[in-house]
Amino acid sequence: MEKKQDNNVRTMVFDIPHEKEESMKATLRSVYNAMSEKGYNPINQIVGYLLSEDPTYITNHKGARSLMRKIDRDELLNELVKDYLGV
Protein backbone atom coordinates (compact mmCIF):
# COMPACT_ATOMS: atom_id res chain seq x y z
CA MET A 1 0.00 0.00 0.00
CA GLU A 2 1.43 3.38 -0.90
CA LYS A 3 0.29 6.95 -0.72
CA LYS A 4 0.01 8.81 -3.98
CA GLN A 5 -0.21 12.56 -4.19
CA ASP A 6 -2.17 14.20 -7.00
CA ASN A 7 -3.13 17.90 -6.97
CA ASN A 8 -2.55 18.10 -3.20
CA VAL A 9 -5.06 15.31 -2.56
CA ARG A 10 -3.83 12.16 -0.89
CA THR A 11 -5.20 8.89 -2.19
CA MET A 12 -4.46 5.43 -0.90
CA VAL A 13 -3.35 3.07 -3.66
CA PHE A 14 -3.50 -0.64 -2.95
CA ASP A 15 -1.17 -2.95 -4.80
CA ILE A 16 -1.35 -6.49 -3.49
CA PRO A 17 1.16 -9.03 -4.78
CA HIS A 18 -0.36 -12.12 -6.43
CA GLU A 19 1.04 -14.45 -3.75
CA LYS A 20 -0.63 -12.47 -0.98
CA GLU A 21 -3.90 -12.43 -2.91
CA GLU A 22 -3.78 -16.23 -3.25
CA SER A 23 -2.97 -16.56 0.45
CA MET A 24 -6.00 -14.42 1.35
CA LYS A 25 -8.22 -16.56 -0.89
CA ALA A 26 -6.98 -19.78 0.71
CA THR A 27 -7.50 -18.37 4.20
CA LEU A 28 -10.97 -17.12 3.36
CA ARG A 29 -11.87 -20.54 1.91
CA SER A 30 -10.67 -22.23 5.11
CA VAL A 31 -12.74 -19.85 7.24
CA TYR A 32 -15.76 -20.39 4.98
CA ASN A 33 -15.43 -24.18 5.21
CA ALA A 34 -15.01 -24.15 9.00
CA MET A 35 -18.11 -22.01 9.39
CA SER A 36 -20.11 -24.22 7.04
CA GLU A 37 -19.11 -27.28 9.05
CA LYS A 38 -20.48 -25.65 12.19
CA GLY A 39 -23.80 -24.87 10.49
CA TYR A 40 -23.35 -21.11 10.18
CA ASN A 41 -24.16 -19.01 7.13
CA PRO A 42 -20.53 -18.15 6.30
CA ILE A 43 -21.30 -15.29 3.93
CA ASN A 44 -23.43 -13.44 6.48
CA GLN A 45 -20.92 -14.07 9.25
CA ILE A 46 -17.92 -12.92 7.20
CA VAL A 47 -19.76 -9.78 6.06
CA GLY A 48 -20.69 -9.07 9.68
CA TYR A 49 -17.06 -9.39 10.67
CA LEU A 50 -15.85 -7.16 7.83
CA LEU A 51 -18.36 -4.45 8.70
CA SER A 52 -17.90 -4.51 12.46
CA GLU A 53 -14.43 -6.01 12.98
CA ASP A 54 -16.05 -8.03 15.78
CA PRO A 55 -14.21 -11.37 15.82
CA THR A 56 -17.14 -13.17 17.44
CA TYR A 57 -18.79 -13.30 14.00
CA ILE A 58 -16.18 -15.96 13.15
CA THR A 59 -16.18 -19.36 14.82
CA ASN A 60 -13.12 -20.71 16.63
CA HIS A 61 -13.68 -24.06 14.90
CA LYS A 62 -10.46 -25.18 13.16
CA GLY A 63 -8.80 -21.89 14.15
CA ALA A 64 -11.00 -19.90 11.74
CA ARG A 65 -11.11 -16.81 13.96
CA SER A 66 -7.33 -16.64 14.21
CA LEU A 67 -6.98 -17.16 10.48
CA MET A 68 -9.49 -14.42 9.69
CA ARG A 69 -7.77 -11.93 11.94
CA LYS A 70 -4.52 -12.41 9.98
CA ILE A 71 -6.16 -10.97 6.85
CA ASP A 72 -5.95 -7.21 6.44
CA ARG A 73 -9.58 -6.10 6.08
CA ASP A 74 -8.75 -3.17 3.78
CA GLU A 75 -6.80 -5.41 1.43
CA LEU A 76 -9.55 -8.03 1.44
CA LEU A 77 -12.26 -5.45 0.71
CA ASN A 78 -10.10 -4.05 -2.09
CA GLU A 79 -9.77 -7.49 -3.68
CA LEU A 80 -13.49 -8.22 -3.26
CA VAL A 81 -14.51 -5.00 -4.99
CA LYS A 82 -12.02 -5.55 -7.82
CA ASP A 83 -13.28 -9.09 -8.33
CA TYR A 84 -16.92 -8.00 -8.23
CA LEU A 85 -16.27 -5.33 -10.86
CA GLY A 86 -14.03 -7.59 -12.93
CA VAL A 87 -11.07 -5.21 -12.91
Per the DSSP assignment, residues forming a β-bridge with 6 are: 9
Phi first, then psi: give them for residue 3, nearest 5 degrees.
-95, 135
Across residues 10-15, what is the average pLDDT? Answer: 63
To the nearest whole percent, how much of the chain has pLDDT over 70? Answer: 82
Tell me how many domains the chain contains.
1
Distance in angstroms (rounded) separating the CA atoms of residues 75 and 73: 5
pLDDT tens readout for residues 71-85: 999 999 999 999 999
Q: Which domain, by its residues, includes 40? A: 2-85
For 12, 14, 30, 57, 83, the CA distances from 20, given in Å and listed in that order, are 18, 12, 15, 24, 15
Q: Distance between CA atoms of 50 and 17, rounded to whole angstroms?
A: 21
Q: Is the pLDDT of residue 30 over 90?
A: yes
Whether the predicted pLDDT of 56 surpasses 70: yes
Average pLDDT over residues 28-53: 97
* Mean pLDDT, residues 5-32 taken together: 78
